[in-house]
Amino acid sequence: MLRRYASKIISELKVPNHNPVLNVSQFEALSKQVPLLYFILLVNMTSLALTHAGSAPFWMVVGLPIVFAILCVRRAAQWISYRNKVISPDFAYRKLRSTNILAAPIAVFCTWWSISLLPYGDAYQKAHVAFFMAITVIGIIFCLMHLRSAALVVAVTVNIPFMVAMFLTGEPTFIATGVNVALVTGAMIAIVVTHYRDFRQLNESRLVLLEQQKALQALSDENLRLANLDSLTEIPNRRNFFNVLTEVFGTAERNTKPICVGVIDLDGFKPINDMYGHAAGDKVLIEVARRLKELEQDDLSFYRLGGDEFGMICTGDCSEERLTRLGEQLCSSIAERMPVGGNTVQVTGSMGVAIYPDVGRDGQDLYERADYALYTAKRYQRAGVVIFNAAQAQSLDRQKQVEEALMAADLDRELTLEYQPIYNIQAHHCIGFEALARWRSPGLGRVSPAEFIPIAEHTGRISLVTRTLLRQALEEAKSWPENAILSFNLSPLDLASPDSILKIVALVEQSSFDAKRINFEITESAVIRDFEQATQSITLLKRLGAGISLDDFGTGYSSLNHVHKLPLSKIKIDGSFVSEVHERPASAKIIRTMLSLCGELGLGAIVEGVESEAELEVLREMGVQYVQGFHFSRPLTPDDARTLILDDHGRNETVAQQKTA
């Protein structure tokens, strides 16, 4: 039992080292209070020495106080120097331990010195000694209240000798003083213990709060990391790209330093998704991201912007030479074949680049110019790199002018149609027309469909353009002979939107025009954009009774893959195969192969781009039945087209009657 109590007392007199945060907090509190402790000792000792200057020996009232004062000033200055410094828990513990150890010798010295002065002087001087000891011990305990062990050491070390000395005087006043000081000290110790417990609990709560804050901060950091990271490829995402771009652009603008933005798009990615599934497509994206990461440098970073599009930011050498070399290296790396699920696939990458300060008013503007350079690369330099230049800037300005004019256009008044005749060269007559869009803007004049149709698709106005033109075409076709067909082009976005295709169907039904006389032309890009939705849209048009033609057949990289999966009626063989076909045996073989394919699949065929009699003769010998091209006629106005088809129909009726007669 005694051993347990002794062990408990000893532990109470030691500085605990199980809570580093508590040790640091104790040290911070003591760094403000210990200098006050030495100030109390110095003032009280000086006061007592002065009152005993003529009574006690010189070494007691001058020598010892001076030496002790020097030590007090030095220690106080040392503690003051620790303020406002970052202190490690180990350092704090060492200082607390040294303070705890020094508490006993200092208390013993002060007690011995003051009691040694009791025999000297009169009653007033003796009373001063009692006052010195009482007020000093109370002040020191208050100063050491954040270091409970040291406060207990001082209380025990001072009070026991003090009470003994007071009792030995035999004076009732001194005895009462000793008892009074002992009782007050006991009460103060109780307060110190309670305060220390509250102080420790507060720090433990603070420690828990800090841990919670760390956990919350870690969670916040992780959420921020995930919010700025592409979950599939684990490279920075679109949000991160624009945040970094805004930051580096601001720095470049302030320091007049160049930066570069690149936009990379994969060529041939969609067919991999269609043929092997989205899991295979995901693996391709992951592998491409890995290859881009290998090219990263201190001044070069890559991002996934979405889908199969990636971004690049360069803050170092932005010379055209370096960027061209880097783009070629990047495109070459992407083009290397990669294994995916037991198959080996290949994609290529096209890249557009824009350099500040050559272009760009801000980060978004710089990105848009890089994106336009990418558009140029995919159109004219696929699997290559294009750096935004003055010619593209002029083209982009024109595009914005067209976009603004198109958004403000009165489509019913400004949009019109011209009609390209389609001929049956075996029966020698016109069977109908392909409707071709025309736009005359009040501000820009006549704008080519090759220019405004992509912009209408980009701005989302293509659905309205399609319906406006289809309404005009259906109304005009009512004036044609009953067996004349109308061929009408649909945008990829028309097929990709269920709402848009339903509106087209409703428009045909409301027109009272026979849907069997309509032939909707679609391009392969309309199919590969969203094969499933495109198939549903085509099926809906077929149920309406309309025919479906695949336009520009033979120019797409996966035409054969799609032709047998779609409910098509005809294919249109692209005019690039027809040009000079009478002098190009290879082109003739390709056309024969495609005609044979159409025969096997039960599809009709229309050959485009016939521009000479020589080309026509070759096609006629192959057995081609339907053609169109400038050899017969350029696109006609509605009135001219109506005259042509009515005259042609009249002649055919006359010939038929003559043959009958």
Look at residue 399 and tell me if it is in a domain. Answer: no
Non-local (6+) Cβ contacts of 270 within 8 A are 308, 528, 529
436 and 314 in one domain?
A: no
Residues 193 and 244 in one domain: no
Whether 394 is covered by a domain: the verdict is no
21 and 155 inside one domain: yes
pLDDT at 13 (0 to 100): 62
264 burial via Cβ count (<10 Å: 0-12, 13-18, 19+): buried
* Cα 172 to Cα 166: distance, rounded to the nearest angstrom: 9
**Domain interval for residue 125:** 2-211
Question: Is there a domain that residue 532 lies in?
Answer: yes
Considering 370, 388, 406, which residue would you say is the last residue of a domain?
388
Residue 320 shares a structural domain with residue 378: yes
| 614 touches 578 (CB < 8 A) | no
Pairing between β-strand 415-424 and β-strand 385-387 as defined by DSSP bridges: unpaired
Distance CA 645, CA 171 (A): 142
Counting as low any pLDDT under 70, the low residues of the chain are: 1-13, 16, 525-526, 528-529, 554-564, 652-661
- CA neighbor of 426 nearest in space, from 242, 661, 605, 650: 605
Using an 8 Å Cβ cutoff, are 523 and 552 in contact?
yes
Output the pLDDT for position 558: 46
Pair (123, 255) in one structural domain:
no
Strands 570-573 and 547-553: parallel
Q: Same domain, yes or no, for 205 and 245?
A: no
**Within a domain: 219:** no
In a domain, 266, yes or no: yes
Whichever domain contains 382, its CATH number is: 3.30.70.270
Radius of gyration of the chain (CA): 48
- Same domain (yes/no): 243, 148: no
Do 503 and 467 meet the contact criterion of CB atoms below 8 Å apart? Answer: yes
First to last CA, the chain: 140
Quick one: 184 and 260 in the same domain? Answer: no
- Tell me, yes or no, whether 131 lies in a domain: yes
pTM: 0.58
**Total tally of structural domains belonging to the chain:** 3
Structure tokens at 74: 């030095």
- Residues 496 and 617 occupy one common structural domain: yes
Contact between 577 and 564 (Cβ < 8 Å): no
Structure tokens at 42: 């110095």
Chain-centroid distance, C-alpha 291: 20
Same domain as 123, residue 31: yes
Same domain, residue pair 323 and 443 = no
Single residue among 388, 408, 428 that ends a domain in this structure: 388
Q: Which two tokens stand for residue 456?
A: 């209408």
Query: Which run of H or E residues covers position 265?
Result: strand 259-267
**Checking DSSP bridges between strand 385-387 and strand 348-356, what pairing results, if any?**
parallel
SS3 of 412-436 = HHHEEEEEEEEEECCCCEEEEEEEE
| CATH number of 558's domain | 3.20.20.450
614 closest CA partner among 577, 573, 580: 580
Domain contains 192: yes
- The residues pairing with 356 across neighbouring beta strands, listed in sequence order, are 259
Determine, yes or no, domain membership for 217: no
CB-based contact 268:346 (threshold 8 Å): yes
Residues 449, 525 within the same domain? yes
The answer to whether the beta carbons of residues 529 and 499 sit under 8 Å apart is: no
Q: Give the end of a domain, one of 343, 367, 388.
A: 388
